[in-house]
Chain A
Amino acid sequence: DQQVKQNSPSLSVQEGRISILNCDYTNSMFDYFLWYKKYPAEGPTFLISISSIKDKNEDGRFTVFLNKSAKHLSLHIVPSQPGDSAVYFCAKEGGTSYGKLTFGQGTILTVHP
């Protein structure tokens, strides 16, 4: 049972436009959601997070929206830049201790100049 799903394997966007990456999750009340960014041959790096008690969190060009009724999470990047081209993983930290994360499959974002 996959708890976190990213249904779009890839996304292509023009520089300056908005990138929207989506993630769906299965039921859990007290989750904490994170987005990680990964460049080739590097480890994932933390990008932005949101607590389940909120519905939006912003950090510069990056905004994460949480729709609890739809169990849906999205990451908006505005404006998109070529340096944003990477694999983006959404992840869920649920309920239990020790910070265990469940990751989605990832979405490859390509931003064209």
Chain B
Amino acid sequence: NAGVTQTPKFQVLKTGQSMTLQCAQDMNHNSMYWYRQDPGMGLRLIYYSASEGTTDKGEVPNGYNVSRLNKREFSLRLESAAPSQTSVYFCASTIPQGQETQYFGPGTRLLVL
């Protein structure tokens, strides 16, 4: 099992450009999450998908959209990138039965100039 995979590993964008971060998991998990990590801020939830076909906003959703393409894949889209979106983005997945752990991907480092 590869676990949770993310592509790309690193990306540089210019302000106003768009891009999609990809995430896939092969653990048959129902729920998937997108976080961003910034220095001194911990990990903050952007969007999550409790199950295939559903998505909901997290703590910091502005400037982002998501798509739960199927049970395996959950993508994060930046329609018009801004320097404030420079961050490390992590995707995670879990089976939401309560008191379970989330499994994280290796992250995508994004720099917006």
A101 beta carbon closer than 8 Å to chain B: yes
CB contact between A100 and one of B58, B90, B101 (< 8 Å): that residue: B58
CB within 8 Å of A: which B59-113 residues: 90, 92, 94, 96, 98-107
Also in contact, A104 and B50, with CB within 8 A (given A43-B90, A43-B106, A97-B96): no
B42 at the interface (CB under 8 A from A): yes
Q: Confirm or deny: B4 has a beta carbon within 8 angstroms of a beta carbon on chain A.
A: yes
Cβ A106 vs Cβ B42 within 8 A: yes
Closest 4 A/B residue pairs (Cβ):
A43-B104, A103-B42, A46-B101, A98-B50
Inter-chain CA distance A45–B50, complex, in Å, is 21
The chain B residue sitting closest to A44, CB to CB, is: B104
Give per-residue flags for A41-58: 1 if the beta carbon is below 8 A from chain B beta carbons, else 0.
Answer: 111111001010000000
Q: Report 18 cross-chain contacts, Cβ distance below 8 Å, ordered by A residue.
A: A32-B98, A41-B107, A42-B107, A43-B104, A43-B105, A43-B106, A49-B99, A51-B99, A93-B99, A98-B31, A98-B50, A98-B96, A99-B98, A99-B100, A100-B33, A100-B48, A101-B102, A105-B41
